[in-house]
Structure 1
Amino acid sequence: MSLPDHRRPALRCPAWLAPRDLRLGPLVAASLLGCGAVLDLVLLLLLPALGGSAPGFGWVVLVLLVINGLVCATAPRGSATSRLSVAAGALTAIVACASMWGLLYGELDAGVSLMGLPAVFAASQLRRPLAIALTGLTCLSAVTVLALVAPWTAFRTVDAVMVCGSLTLLCGATLHYVEDTRRLLDRLERLAAVDGLTGLVTRRVLDDALATALTSAGAQTGTALVLVDVDSFKTVNDRYGHPVGDAALQHVGAVLTAAVRSTDAVVSRLGGDELAVLLPGCATDRARARAQDLVLAVRAAPLLLPDGSPLPITVSVGVAHAPTHAPDVRALYAAADGALYAAKRGGRDRSEVAEVAVLS
C-alpha cells in the first residue's frame, strides 16, 4: 500500500553529491548529455556504412543519455532530483564515451578526446572528492576498453598510461582553475559586502537585511531604520585634512557598533559621511530611545588627534519605523531621511523621529 503524499519521505541529496552551482550545473550536464546523444546516434547510424554493426548496448546508452539529459533540463533547480541528476549525468557520460570509444576500436586520439569530456565535466561542475573519484572511474573505463578491443601488448600499456595520464592532467588543471576562480569570486563578494574604510557592511548588505526584516515572521513589533550623519564633516576635512576625516568616520563607525548589540542590529556605511543602523524587531518607542543613545554615545567619545588633543564629534540622527512610518523599504528610507534633515534643521547633535505616515 502506497503512503499518502504527505507521508512519503522526501528525496535527499548528500552535499558531496551536489554540483558546485545548483543553477548552472544541471544546464551544463543537460548540454553535455544532449551532445553525447547526438554523437552516439550519428556513430550508430554510420557504423553499418563503415562495414560494422550497431550493437544493442549502443542504443541502450543512447536512451540513457536522452533520459538523463531531460531530467537535468526539466527538474526544478535546487531540488534533490536536479542535484542527483548531475552526478548521474557524469556517470552516464563516462559509460557513453567508453561505449563510443569501443565502437571506434580503441583508437587512441578518439579515446583522449571522448574520455576527456566526462573528466573535465566532473572537475568543473562537481565537488573535489566526487570529481577525483569519477576521474579515477574514467581512467578505469579507458583501460577496460583498451583491454577489450584488442590483445594486451606493451603498446597497449603505453596507450593506457598516455590516456590515464592525460585524463588526470585534465582533471587536475580544471579543478585548479575552477577552485581558484571560486576563491577569487568569494573574495570579490566579501569586498563588495564590507566597506574598505570603516569595516562596516555596505548598503547592499543593509538593504538585503532590511528586506528580510520587513518580511520575516518575527516582524510583529516592526523594524526601525536609523540614519546617522556626521555633523560638519566637510569642516573637519578642510581644517584637519582627509586622513583625520577618514579617522573620524572610522571612529564614529566603531562607536555606533559598540553602542548596539551585533545580535540584533546591523551597522552600515551608506556612503560619504552617512551611516545607518538597522534595528529589526524594535518597537517605535524603543527605536526613539536607541537613536538618542547613539547621539549621546558619539558626543561622549571625542576623536583623539595625532597630537593627543580631543576632537569633539557629533551626529544628527533620523529614525523611522515600519510599519508605523512607512510600509516598505523605499518609503522607510524616505521617512528616515526626512527625520534626519529635521534633526539637522533643528541644530544638529540630536535625533528626530519621522512623522507618522497617513495611509489613504
Structure 2
Amino acid sequence: MLIKTLLSCLLLPLGIMAALDDKAQLANRTIDRTISLRTHSIYPPYIDQDLQNRWWDFGADAYVNTNKYIRLTRARASQMGWLWSRAPLTASNFVLEIEFKVSGDNNHLYGDGLAIWLTKDRAQPGPVFGSKDNFEGLGLFLDTYANSRHPYSFPRINAMLGDGKTSYDLDNDGEKNSLGACSANFRRTNVATKLKITYLREQYLNVKIQYKAWDEWTDCFTVQGVTLPLAPYIGFSALTGDVSDNHDIISITTYSAILSSPDAQRDKLTGNAGRKFGISQSSSWTWTFVKLFLFVGVVAGALYGYKQHTLRQSRGGLGGGTFGSMGRTMQGLGGAFDSKRF
C-alpha cells in the first residue's frame, strides 16, 4: 500500500506537467504562414471597365476616386455609405488589414465615425454607423464623436459581439456591450492609418492600429475564446449627422492564416533555442532520454530505500546487523576519535 502511495506521489507531478504541457501547446499555436485572399481584398483603381468590382459592392452616398480611395461619406451632414464583400469569408483563421482615413476641415465638431463588420448579414443600412442594428457577428466601431461623458478620450475604437437580438448601446457609445476598446487619435494623422484584425477561431481576437508612425503597431485589445459566425461577410459603413467627416477606405487586404501544429511549434522553438545556444535537435532528444532515465533512477532508489527500511525494522532497528557491529567497533576504539574534532 505504501509503495502505491509513494509511486502516486512521484507520478502525480509528471501528470500535472504533462497536462499543462498539452494546454501550453494549444495556447502556443501561432500563425505559420498567410495566404492572400483576392476575393476579399481591394486596392486602387477599385473598379473594372464596367464601373463595378467583381468581389465588392458599394452603395448609398459612397463613391469611388479610382486613384485614391472609396469615400463612404463626405464631410457633409446626414450622409451614409457602405462597402461590402459579395462573398462570405470561409477561412476559419484570418488576418484583415485595412488602410483608412478619417479627415475633415473642422477641428472641433466632427463625427460620427465608421464601422468594420464581420457579420452574417450584409448591405443592410441602419442607424449603427450606417448599418443595421441587432446584427449577428462582430462590429468594430471607429467612433469619433462622444454621445455622453466618459473617463476616456475620443476618437475611440470599440468592439461588440452581436447575437442578433441585442441592440447597440448608441446613447453610451457602445459601452454597455463592449467586447474590447481603446482610445487612439487616428483622425487627421501625418502617417497612413491602418487597422489589423487577427482572428483565430475559438482562441483569440486581436486588434492593432497604426497611427503614430509608419510600421509602428499599437495593441488596442485582445480577447480570448472568441467565436465569430461561420463564413461572415466583410463590411464597412460610415455615418454623419449634424457633425461630419470624410470617411475613406484606401485598401483592404485579407489573409487566410495557416496555423502551426503543436508539435511543429515545439520543434520551431527548440530549433531556435538550439541555433542560439549551439544545441542540435538530436541533443534535445538525448536530454529527453536523460530525464527519463533520471526519473526511473529516482523511482528505483525510492523502492530500494523502502526495502532497506523494512528490512531494518524487521531486525529490530539499528542495533543489529552491520550497523550494530560498526557501532560496537566505534565504541571499542574509546578516545581514539574525538567527536569535537569533527
The interval holding the TM-score normalised by the smaller chain is under 0.3
Larger radius of gyration: 2
Q: Which has the higher contact order (CA 8 A, sep 6+)?
A: 2
- Greater strand proportion: 2
TM-score normalised over the length of structure 2:
0.24
TM-score by length of structure 1 reads 0.23
